[in-house]
Amino acid sequence: PRAPRLVRRGVITLKAHEKIGVLVGLLDVSDEDDLIIITTHGIVNRQHVSDIRLAGRNTSGVRLIRLMAGDQISAIARVPKSDDEVEDNDLPLEDPDGQIQLF
């Protein structure tokens, strides 16, 4: 038996063209996760996945970061939600000898 056409040819994720450029990366995320984008100029952008607008498969996508001239995306990463994330006010104080005790 022959495989259905969809299985043999795949599904188009994004129709790349000059206006939107190429697909840089693709991650499987959930609404509880955060997304980190790092550029070659050293810009780090962290945002909640739940704050990103949903777009259909056949659209031009959603802009997550506006790049400066000559800048490129160097890395993207998913930061899973953790129940034991450290809050700023939970950070340890310095010991008298100037060392920070983490554990």
Q: Is residue 7 part of a domain?
A: no
Q: What is the tens place of the pLDDT at every residue in 53-65?
A: 887 767 777 888 8
Q: Is residue 65 part of a domain?
A: yes
Give the angle subtended at the CA of 88 by the CAs of 100 and 80, to the nearest 5°. Answer: 105
Looking at the structure of the chain, the number of domains it has is: 1
Distance between CA atoms of residues 25 and 75, nearest Å: 9
Q: Is residue 31 part of a domain?
A: yes
Q: Is residue 75 part of a domain?
A: yes
- Whole-model pTM: value is 0.63
Q: What is the tens place of the pLDDT at every residue in 43-87?
A: 999 999 999 888 776 777 788 888 899 999 999 999 988 755 555
Q: Is residue 48 part of a domain?
A: yes
Domain residue limits at 65: 20-81
The β-bridge partners of 75 are: 38
Please name the residues in contact with 33: beta carbons below 8 A apart, sequence gap of 6 or more.
48, 49, 78, 79, 80, 81
Across the chain, the runs of DSSP E, i.e. the strands, are 34-39, 44-48, 73-79
